A = this chain, B = another copy of it.
Amino acid sequence: MDEPAFALRDATVGIVGLGLMGGSLALALSERKACKRIVAVERNAATRAQALERNIVAQAGADLALVAQADVVVLATPVRTILDQLPLLGRTAHSGTIVMDLGSTKREIVEAMQALPEYLEPIGGHPMCGKESAGWDAADGSLFGNAAFVLTPLARTAAGTVAFTSELVVTLGARPLVLDASRHDRIVAAASHLPFALASALVTTANDRARADELVFALAASGFRDVSRLAASDTTMMGDVLLTNSRNVADAIRDCTRHLSALADLIERQDEAGLLSELDAAAVRRRSLFR
């Protein structure tokens, strides 16, 4: 199957979890009238009511069985919830259904997808975008605009499924990037999970000091604000992310603490040349990014 068996515009899309990611997906598809209909599985009754009332989804319920109607199921729950839901989905989804997820780590999810019945079409997905605010209220149909969107096919995934999900990604305004799940997890450990760990440790360090001096946070300006922003992220989601990518994340944190210790040594030794060489290399690199 090199061509998709059906087109997105004719498909019923089942979204599991109307949080920041799932809610933004529902909004993006609905605003673009990109698919036939959306059915949503969401445990929060108020969120379901709003999504129905605003005609974003055609049907909504708390039971995963609702995805039996879907041609494409997108799991948009925290990573370990996705790992729990995948086996249940195998007993619910109809033959030929594309099963995708939006989890931030991919290796464990792709392994769990491997165990799905043969008549399902699994593929991992990870949009490289986010906000520190979580939940339906933060959802935004333009969240995926211009973002890289990683797709991690399994060996069993049909070429047509890769083509279909790539088209879906392009429809959302994002750029599809097909990657091996293990490579994805190694990369995001440094590019995404490490920044979160640094933000959290910065707040913990400053908070310790604030116990001895109440002015610590009074002197925290835009630099502290930007570096610490991610610490306010949804910790349930981030805990899952870190624990399902533990080896890579621990390695990235330890590499970074070595660089930090080296900086502390250079500063303590008043080694100006050594310090400036480290800082300059990072400054030049950073200025070349995000133009």
A interface residues with partner B (beta carbon < 8 Å): 128-130, 147-148, 150, 177, 179, 183-184, 186-188, 190-192, 194-209, 213, 215-233, 235-236, 238-239, 242-243, 246-247, 249-250, 252-257, 259-261, 263-265, 267-268, 270, 272, 275-276, 278-283, 285-287, 289-290
Residues of B contacting A260 in the complex (Cβ-Cβ under 8 angstroms) = 197-198, 201, 253, 256-257, 260
5 other A-B residue contacts (CB within 8 Å) besides A242-B267, A250-B265: A129-B222, A177-B218, A190-B205, A227-B230, A231-B279
Q: Please measure, in the bound complex, the distance between the C-alpha atom of A74 and the C-alpha atom of B277, giving whole angstroms.
A: 30
Q: Please measure, in the bound complex, the distance between the C-alpha atom of A103 and the C-alpha atom of B285, giving whole angstroms.
A: 26
Residues of B contacting A188 in the complex (Cβ-Cβ under 8 angstroms) = 219
Across the interface, A195 reaches (CB within 8 A) one of B150, B227, B243, B268, namely B227
> Are B246 and A208 interface neighbours, CB within 8 A?
no
Q: Please measure, in the bound complex, the distance between the C-alpha atom of A147 and the C-alpha atom of B219, giving whole angstroms.
A: 9
> Are B230 and A200 interface neighbours, CB within 8 A?
no
Across the interface, A247 reaches (CB within 8 A) one of B202, B219, B255, B268, namely B268
> Are B227 and A198 interface neighbours, CB within 8 A?
yes
- CB A285 to nearest CB in B, in angstroms, measures 5
Q: Please measure, in the bound complex, the distance between the C-alpha atom of A235 and the C-alpha atom of B279, giving whole angstroms.
A: 6
Q: Please measure, in the bound complex, the distance between the C-alpha atom of A278 and the C-alpha atom of B221, giving whole angstroms.
A: 23
Across the interface, A208 reaches (CB within 8 A) one of B147, B226, B255, B268, namely B255
Residues of B contacting A221 in the complex (Cβ-Cβ under 8 angstroms) = 128-130, 147-148, 191-192
Residues of B contacting A255 in the complex (Cβ-Cβ under 8 angstroms) = 205, 208-209
> Are B275 and A191 interface neighbours, CB within 8 A?
no
> Are B220 and A191 interface neighbours, CB within 8 A?
yes
- CB A133 to nearest CB in B, in angstroms, measures 10
Residues of B contacting A204 in the complex (Cβ-Cβ under 8 angstroms) = 256, 259, 278, 281-282
Across the interface, A254 reaches (CB within 8 A) one of B191, B223, B264, B289, namely B264
> Are B205 and A187 interface neighbours, CB within 8 A?
no
> Are B223 and A250 interface neighbours, CB within 8 A?
no
